[in-house]
Chain A
């Protein structure tokens, strides 16, 4: 038995298992939990790789079909069937990837009846749907070849040529229209990528990538199934790819020159480096390798060249739909690991389907024969016995299935254990806030991560009192909403909304702001001008406090209490000489705790029940 393919399949099953676990979370908890997408980066890896990359990767189907059936280069016929199969599975993978990425995947069929012909995505949707159907019809004869549906088989065979031409027509449209998608966002896409020629560039690159994918897939398959690589055919395809790549490179550079953007390439910015890496991977290096006859004829040469090309063009699609937009949006989107797992999981799943079809249908007749010979041999094999678990594993095939199932289940469990169950909110650095790194908030209590250090930095070192000891009723932990009216955008403690509705009249603004100056906090009346009775303490020291901020702990406690404590400490009648010492108050349990609380409650009740009419002195 071929261990190589078995190990490879085991790895694929493991990835599929992980992805299955993420799938559960994706569809029960939403996109926010499983992706790092945000309002500034609404398209991420799933669009860049699964959809944009996926469609481009599946271009091999129409390219090889055109070469073999339209241009009648018959030596490439053996590559046509695997290419069509890859394309069919590739487009199916795109559809599956879309189901993950769409916010409302159950509406994926909507473009069929709700039309907007002005949308490039509408056109892409229709072409992809039709082309998937065409590919199924193109592949169906392979499935029917060894069955008894001869009539249907012959009918489909006769349809092949029109189908192939239709497939090329549809591919031309949607491969280029994926570039059209980006034409509407010159404000997002970096100038090195943005050009009115994007549709044409996408089409040409799809042809190059299509050739590279066929080479890549052929080398992988022959390595996995331990067969002789078809060097002659591959080097021919490599030669064609070299022409395509040279054309693509010239096209792209001339286009950049036309727009006067060549200087941007060597600007040294992140985008220019990205551009150089992309061009190096997708065109320059593979072009050099494919152009050298010796490299083209060696198995490793074509493998390296085609893999570089594949990676480079997928990077091109990812760049165009995302990375080359960071320049404008300034967001640091990096796919969350769950996004990678789903993307690879879809690829792995369809690779397994590919292997299954290849082993059971005459995609590559020789591989199928090999496999059938193996299956026949297995019938005479003795079942294997595992000494460790003391069970009969059955024949090799059955044993492999068992191993794969175990891998799947383990990966599924691992995925469920690791996956996050709540949306990814902005990471908040946690600093121990008075011995705790999370704060109890709300009633009934919830917890929230609280960046204490950030608050200290923002408010100033001695502003503890902005949050601590506001002398509110039951003042144990000041609720964040005291300052953050919406929790996330910091506003001052002063409630402007409440004041506008409370100060009724024709000119509510002028009640606090002078008429002809900017209406900002600095030019507003101080609170105590209106709130003489119910807000400001009679003590002069307390009135010095900033009117829009709550008094700090030190301010509040020291200024309110110290005078009296000092006086009473010297009073022989009270006889408490320690009353003025620091430790008299700075200790646990906090002294007067109950009284402070009750006083606060009373005060707030009075305030709520009898809001004092405001004294307006002017305006």
Chain B
């Protein structure tokens, strides 16, 4: 498998034919018809049985959405049992045998991608896995969605190659494209990149400026890093306070009505 496999989606080229959706459903053995939508489903059309979908913008453009396979994925960092893993090759994959169904990954994803099988009694988290198994075993040379695209609106290659291609397209037709590669820097970079003639900031929960360019796992790690010190510190503090107060109480004559004060 190539290094950091990436997908470049070119919104200007997408005709919205949904070939990618059909191909994705086929290779991942998903039912052709989605389950009935739940109240409060997201507007991007992704469901537990539809791992990529085409969002149609009022401007007439079509934008394909799927898991971004972040370079430093929030979902992987928050999973308490490591059911979501970023493989050494790059795709973010899911191991149901570890999952306990806490759905923290769904909360932590800045793009709101993971979906849940709400009507199942044995539910899984479902999302694009970048055709990981078939790619790794060499059965296919590019993900099914990329292969199915009739317009080369979505292409596949190493991340460096895709970034170079994105830059080449933007520089080649600066009138057609906005000079920004979505996914190059957002939340530390993603493996699914977008070039477009329209603003794509709606693809995340928040404006990219607010999402920031630093990886999200750093935010929790900043707090978690302190945990061992807090743990030991609190233990030492409590033992110390007890020792001081206990000693003071033992030395005090018994007639006192108010035991030692709580200053340390």
With contact pairs A165-B239, A173-B231 given, residues A121 and B40 touching in the complex (Cβ less than 8 Å): no
Among A30, A38, A520, the one with the most B-chain Cβ atoms within 10 Å of its Cβ is A38
With a cutoff of 8 Å between Cβ atoms, the chain B residues found around residue A102 in the complex are: 100-102
Q: Give, as a whole number of angstroms, the nearest-CB distance from B168 to chain A.
A: 20
With a cutoff of 8 Å between Cβ atoms, the chain B residues found around residue A37 in the complex are: 116, 118
Chain B contacts with A in 57-114, Cβ cutoff 8 A = 60, 74, 77-83, 98-104, 106-108, 110, 112, 114
Q: Which of A70, A185, A188, A509 contacts B241 (CB 8 A)?
A: A70
Residue in A closest to B100 when the chains form the complex, CB atoms? A107
Q: Which of B19, B80, B210 contacts A497 (CB 8 A)?
A: B19
A543 close to B (CB within 8 Å): no
With contact pairs A165-B238, A487-B33, A497-B18 given, residues A426 and B230 touching in the complex (Cβ less than 8 Å): no
With a cutoff of 8 Å between Cβ atoms, the chain B residues found around residue A500 in the complex are: 17, 19, 150
B138 close to A (CB within 8 Å): no
Q: Which of A32, A169, A184 contacts B220 (CB 8 A)?
A: A184
**Interface size counted on chain A using CB atoms at 8 A:** 86
User: Which size bracket describes the interface of B in this complex?
Assistant: 35 or more
Residue in B closest to A508 when the chains form the complex, CB atoms? B150
With contact pairs A121-B104, A168-B234 given, residues A423 and B118 touching in the complex (Cβ less than 8 Å): yes
A111 close to B (CB within 8 Å): yes
Q: Which of A74, A108, A110, A183 contacts B98 (CB 8 A)?
A: A110
Say whether B99 contacts A425, CB under 8 Å.
no
Q: Which of A41, A120, A176 contacts B230 (CB 8 A)?
A: A176
Say whether A172 contacts B206, CB under 8 Å.
no
B172 close to A (CB within 8 Å): no
With a cutoff of 8 Å between Cβ atoms, the chain B residues found around residue A169 in the complex are: 231, 234-235, 238
Q: Give, as a whole number of angstroms, the nearest-CB distance from A486 to chain B.
A: 5
Say whether A43 contacts B103, CB under 8 Å.
yes
Chain B contacts with A in 199-258, Cβ cutoff 8 A = 204-206, 210-212, 216-217, 219-224, 227, 230-231, 234-235, 238-239, 241-242, 245-246, 249
Say whether A39 contacts B78, CB under 8 Å.
no
With contact pairs A66-B238, A71-B241 given, residues A185 and B108 touching in the complex (Cβ less than 8 Å): yes
Binds A, one of B1-9, B119-127, B154-162, B177-185: B119-127
With a cutoff of 8 Å between Cβ atoms, the chain B residues found around residue A313 in the complex are: none
Q: Which of B60, B98, B123, B216 contacts A31 (CB 8 A)?
A: B123
Say whether A519 contacts B151, CB under 8 Å.
yes
Say whether A425 contacts B37, CB under 8 Å.
yes
Residue in B closest to A487 when the chains form the complex, CB atoms? B33
Residue in B closest to A524 when the chains form the complex, CB atoms? B15
Q: Give, as a whole number of angstroms, the nearest-CB distance from A471 to chain B.
A: 25
Say whether B15 contacts A519, CB under 8 Å.
yes
Measured between alpha carbons, how far is A40 from B113 in the docked complex, in Å? 9
Say whether B259 contacts A74, CB under 8 Å.
yes
Residue in A closest to B122 when the chains form the complex, CB atoms? A104
With a cutoff of 8 Å between Cβ atoms, the chain B residues found around residue A595 in the complex are: none
Among B22, B118, B260, the one with the most A-chain Cβ atoms within 10 Å of its Cβ is B118
Q: Which of B17, B120, B212 contacts A496 (CB 8 A)?
A: B17
Say whether A32 contacts B103, CB under 8 Å.
no
Say whether B36 contacts A488, CB under 8 Å.
yes
Say whether A119 contacts B262, CB under 8 Å.
no
Among A73, A179, A332, the one with the most B-chain Cβ atoms within 10 Å of its Cβ is A73
With contact pairs A72-B245, A102-B102 given, residues A329 and B39 touching in the complex (Cβ less than 8 Å): no
Say whether A38 contacts B40, CB under 8 Å.
yes
With a cutoff of 8 Å between Cβ atoms, the chain B residues found around residue A488 in the complex are: 34, 36-37
Q: Which of B15, B22, B42, B80 contacts A513 (CB 8 A)?
A: B15
Measured between alpha carbons, how far is A181 from B116 in the docked complex, in Å? 20
Measured between alpha carbons, how far is A332 from B38 in the docked complex, in Å? 12
Say whether B107 contacts A43, CB under 8 Å.
yes
A489 close to B (CB within 8 Å): yes
Say whether A29 contacts B121, CB under 8 Å.
yes
With a cutoff of 8 Å between Cβ atoms, the chain A residues found around residue B235 in the complex are: 165-166, 168-169
Say whether B41 contacts A120, CB under 8 Å.
no
With a cutoff of 8 Å between Cβ atoms, the chain A residues found around residue B188 in the complex are: none
Q: Give, as a whole number of angstroms, the nearest-CB distance from B31 to chain A.
A: 10
With a cutoff of 8 Å between Cβ atoms, the chain B residues found around residue A161 in the complex are: 242
Chain B contacts with A in 137-195, Cβ cutoff 8 A = 150-151
Residue in A closest to B126 when the chains form the complex, CB atoms? A39
Say whether A187 contacts B38, CB under 8 Å.
no
Measured between alpha carbons, how far is A70 from B249 in the docked complex, in Å? 12
Say whether B32 contacts A486, CB under 8 Å.
yes
A333 close to B (CB within 8 Å): yes
Residue in A closest to B82 when the chains form the complex, CB atoms? A116
Chain A contacts with B in 92-116, Cβ cutoff 8 A = 101-105, 107-108, 110-111, 114-116
With a cutoff of 8 Å between Cβ atoms, the chain B residues found around residue A497 in the complex are: 17-19, 22
Measured between alpha carbons, how far is A73 from B245 in the docked complex, in Å? 10
Residue in A closest to B13 when the chains form the complex, CB atoms? A519
Chain A contacts with B in 8-40, Cβ cutoff 8 A = 27-33, 36-40
With contact pairs A40-B41, A41-B40 given, residues A187 and B101 touching in the complex (Cβ less than 8 Å): no
With a cutoff of 8 Å between Cβ atoms, the chain A residues found around residue B211 in the complex are: 186-187
Scan A316-330; emit 1 where CB is below 8 A from any B CB, else 0: 000000000000110
Beyond the given pairs A177-B224, A508-B150, 15 more chain A to chain B contacts, judged by CB atoms under 8 angstroms and listed by A's residue number, are A31-B116, A38-B39, A39-B42, A40-B41, A108-B100, A110-B99, A118-B221, A121-B104, A165-B238, A187-B206, A188-B205, A426-B39, A426-B41, A500-B17, A520-B15
Can you pick out 27 interface pairs between chain A and chain B where the beta carbons lie within 8 Å of each other?
A: A28-B121, A29-B121, A30-B118, A31-B118, A38-B118, A70-B242, A72-B245, A72-B249, A103-B102, A107-B98, A114-B82, A114-B98, A116-B81, A118-B224, A172-B231, A179-B223, A184-B217, A185-B108, A186-B210, A187-B110, A328-B205, A423-B118, A488-B37, A497-B17, A497-B19, A497-B22, A518-B60
